[in-house]
Structure 1
């Protein structure tokens, strides 16, 4: 497996230290040859939905967990049926799917309907991360530091 050199990316970005780790993990991930199939949909700005085809699974046979920015969905059939099949095309095998979530993406809920597990996601952007205008000619760091120094000498006198 070839490795990817991220040096050009680091020259023009700040704070994307996790990027290389995430890309490496995505390239190495084996998702059991596409079982179960899934969709990732943009519902509207900052709202997403993952739909996973889990035909034959009950709610109590599916586990959804979020840990350190990774959404894990596991399905395990509680009892294997004893039916005799002429043809069995519907897989009821256990599965695990993992999705790496971006920062500030939260799982808001999940529902199971018509054989589809729908997981609702919302990207919540904190106020300090939103775009804001910076006035020119306003207070600078140097002025703030000088103001603190004069305030401390005033208190000493």
Structure 2
């Protein structure tokens, strides 16, 4: 089956980067674990909060790669523990959020099983530019 791109129009020049970003976003949005919230905490500030109960601070990593915020969690089993019943699974996860150009990570905190990542989205005003005709 041939995939037809919305950006294949000759009027949309230079949007191949945007197409790749949209592909990554659609693939990353399919996994529901861990659950998360995105909230506005100021005029240009956002907060992503992930429910990571059972993960210690050392089990989590927050990185930015290619305009993507990537949160990874990996729990390790303690071989000394003997379970009579195991209903809480240890699992790993990777959650990716596509960031717009200019968005910066201002910090990350963990409290009561909730990992909060704060982002800053500065206002960008691009004035119109006059192009000289030669």
Common fold: TM-score over 0.5:
yes
The unaligned stretches of length 5 or more in structure 2 are: none
Q: After the TM superposition, which segments of 4 or more aligned residues of structure 1 sit over 6 Å from their partners?
A: none
Map 1:1-150 onto structure 2 (within 5 A): 3-7=3-7, 11=11, 16-29=15-28, 33-80=31-78, 82-86=81-85, 88=87, 90-125=88-123, 129-132=124-127, 141=132
Does the aligned pair in 2 maintain the 1:57–1:92 contact within 8 Å? no
For structure 1, list consecutive stretches of 5 or more residues without a partner in the other structure: 146-157
Q: CA 1:140–1:62 in structure 2 vs 1: closer, same or farther (change >3 Å)?
A: closer
Size of the aligned set, in residue pairs, is 133
2:25 match: secondary structure: helix
Q: 1:71-98 CA deviation, whole Å, 9 max, x = no partner?
A: 111111133462425451x443111111
Say which one has the larger Rg.
Answer: 1
Q: 1:30 to 1:100 in 2, by over 3 A?
A: closer
Once the two structures are overlaid, the 10-residue window that deviates more, 22-31 or 97-106, is 22-31
Q: Deviations over 1:80-123 (max 9, x none)?
A: 462425451x4431111111111000111000001000000011
Give the stretch that moved more between structures: 113-122 or 37-46.
37-46
Higher helix proportion, which one?
1
Judge conservation of contact 1:111–1:117 (CA < 8 Å) in 2: yes
CA RMSD between the two structures: 3.0
Q: Which has the higher contact order (CA 8 A, sep 6+)?
A: 2
TM-score, with length taken from structure 1? 0.68
